[in-house]
Amino acid sequence: MYVAVKGGERAIESAHAWLAEERRGDTDVAELSIAQIREQLKLSVDRVMAEGSLYDPDLAALAIKQSRGDLIEAIFLIRAYRTTLPRFGASEPVDTGAMACDRRISATFKDLPGGQVLGPTFDYTHRLLDFKLAADGDVPEAPTRESTPGDVPHVTGFLNREGLIEEAPHDDTPPPDLTREPLEMPADRALRLQALTRADEGFTLGLAYSTQRGYARNHAFVGELRIGAVAVEMDIPELGFTIEIGEITLTECETVNQFKGSKTEPPQFTRGYGLVFGQSERKAISMALVDRALRWEELGEDNVGAPAQDTEFVLYHADNIQATGFLEHIKLPHYVDFQSELELVRKLRREAGADQVQEAAE
């Protein structure tokens, strides 16, 4: 427990004033605008939207500015704001097959309908600092080429035709929502996917990496990775039909995983799935790997006791706002708690005759 202690008001006010000043930094340097953050730190904005569970680039940019670039603090701000919004409804499930793809690659098929589209990727850059960016930032226009209109088919669809991969059959079961009801075990896949899409990127990456290193290895290939815009459709009760209410950027990753078959399933490829707000492929791939690892039970695989197979461990520790809240609360005053601990240690030492030992030492 902690108790309220009076007397800190002036100190807190001064601390906040200084925080504001430090946030602004040297006033000889131009101030950042929300639009600059939104446009030029887009991947930070995307991460804040994904883990903040709220798609609004301007709000995410504001949160990043307010938090001085501390993305977990920014996510915290977005989560707090999100709770103040009345919810008008839930969208129809987005159709990622109709995505206007900026990027679409497959690590399993070289020549596939729709082709390998690299998009604005860091891949194949040399990871050398580019000092031109420190100077004036005139950018040459990106080349263009005539595009073929039409939807880009999902790679898993090709494998499905041969029956070599498990199906993801159409289903309209309304999903549980962990932002409305507390997260409880056992968690079905819909709940796990919701928890993973808003999970901390670093935590998800670490877990995914652990599966690659052998802790519940599931031999994942990136069957397909796509980034692009999809329409968001929602049923409007007062109209009696669905309309598009907007368009969002998503990253989708489908892994194709080796599977020897089990007591209940034939030998075939299995699937892991990642779908994340914004352009966040590290997160989407990580999500797909962890999703696949967590599916051991429904696929009849052995539980080898790996962290990535432990639903409770994964889901209860993946949320960086919950984690940071509990972690950081220990820095708040615990004077009374600590006082009692102090008394206890003194008492134990008295009983053990430690006082005399210490006196002798002195």
Partner 1 sequence: MKDTFDENAERKAWMGLLAKAPEGRVAALLDAAITRPEFTWLRAPEIGSAMVRGRAGGTGAPFNIGEVTVTRCALTLVSGDVGHAYIQGRRKSDAEAAALVDALMQGRNAAAVRKAVLVPLEAEQSAAKTARAEKAAATKVEFFTMARGED
Interface with partner 1 in residues 157-216 (CB under 8 A): 168-175, 177-179, 189-191, 193-194, 197-198
Give the range of 9-17, 117-125, 126-134, 204-212 binding partner 1 by CB under 8 A.
117-125
| Interface pick for partner 1 out of 50, 63, 294, 308 (rule CB under 8 A) | 50
Nearest to 157 by CA among 208, 93, 114: 114
**Does 148 interact with partner 1 (rule: CB under 8 A)?**
yes
Q: Which is nearer to partner 1, 101 or 306 (CB)?
A: 101
* Binders in 255-314 for partner 1, by CB under 8 A: 271, 273, 275-277
Least CB distance to partner 1 at residue 189 (A): 6
* Binds partner 1 by CB under 8 A, chosen from 25, 97, 261, 266: 97
Please state, in angstroms and rounded to a whole number, the distance separating the CA atoms of residues 249 and 280: 10
* Minimum separation from the CB atom of position 310 to partner 1 (A): 20
CB 165 within 8 A of CB 268: yes
Cα gap 71→53, rounded to integer Å: 13
The secondary element (H helix, E strand) that includes residue 12 is helix 9-24
As measured in angstroms, the least distance from the Cβ of 209 to partner 1 is: 23
Selected binder of partner 1 within 46, 200, 201, 252 (CB under 8 A): 252
- Toward partner 1, which CB reaches closer, 72 or 334? 72
CB-CB contact of 281 with 251 (8 Å): yes
Does the footprint of partner 1 cover residue 75 (CB under 8 A)? no
Cβ proximity to partner 1: between 72 and 100 the closer is 100
**Of 215 and 248, CB closest to partner 1:** 248
Of 29 and 239, nearer to partner 1 (C-beta) is 239
Q: Tell me which residue has tokens 């030029």.
A: 40
Q: Binding residue for partner 1 (CB under 8 A) from 119, 158, 217, 322?
A: 119
Buried-exposed string 27-58: b where 16+ CB fall within 10 A, e elsewhere:
eeeeebebeebbeebbebbbbbbbbbbbbbbe
Q: Which of 287, 278, 322, 318 is nearest to 45 (CA)?
A: 278
Among residues 6, 87, 161, 331, the one that binds partner 1 under rule CB under 8 A: 87
> Does 248 interact with partner 1 (rule: CB under 8 A)?
yes
Would you call 5 helix, strand, or coil by DSSP?
coil
3-state SS assignment for residue 211: helix
Q: Which stretch binds partner 1 (CB under 8 A): 132-140, 227-235, 300-308, 321-329?
A: 227-235
Candidates 32, 34, 183, 231; binder of partner 1 (CB under 8 A) is 231
State the minimum distance, in angstroms, from the CB of residue 60 to partner 1: 11
Binding of partner 1 by 241 (CB under 8 A): yes
The least CB distance from residue 81 to partner 1, in Å, is 9
For residue 286, the minimal CB distance to partner 1 (Å) is 16
Q: Of 127 and 180, which CB lies nearer to partner 1 in the complex structure?
A: 180
Using CB under 8 A as the binding rule, whether residue 254 contacts partner 1 is answered as: yes
- The site for partner 1, by CB under 8 A, has a size of 86
User: Please, which residues have CB within 8 angstroms of residue 82's CB and are 6 or more apart in sequence?
Assistant: 52, 53, 54, 179
Q: Does 74 bind partner 1 (CB under 8 A)?
A: no
Closest alpha carbon to 206 in 328, 289, 315: 289
Round to whole Å and give the CA distance between 228 and 276.
11
Residue 231 burial class via C-beta count within 10 angstroms: exposed 0-12, middle 13-18, buried 19 and up: middle
Give the chain's end-to-end CA distance (angstroms, integer): 36
Q: How far is the CB of 319 from partner 1 (least distance, A)?
A: 13
Among the listed residues 53, 44, 50, the one whose alpha carbon sits nearest the alpha carbon of residue 71: 44
* Among 48, 62, 63, 101, interactor with partner 1 by CB under 8 A: 101
Q: Would you state the structure tokens that stand for residue 5, as one six-digit string?
A: 């202690």
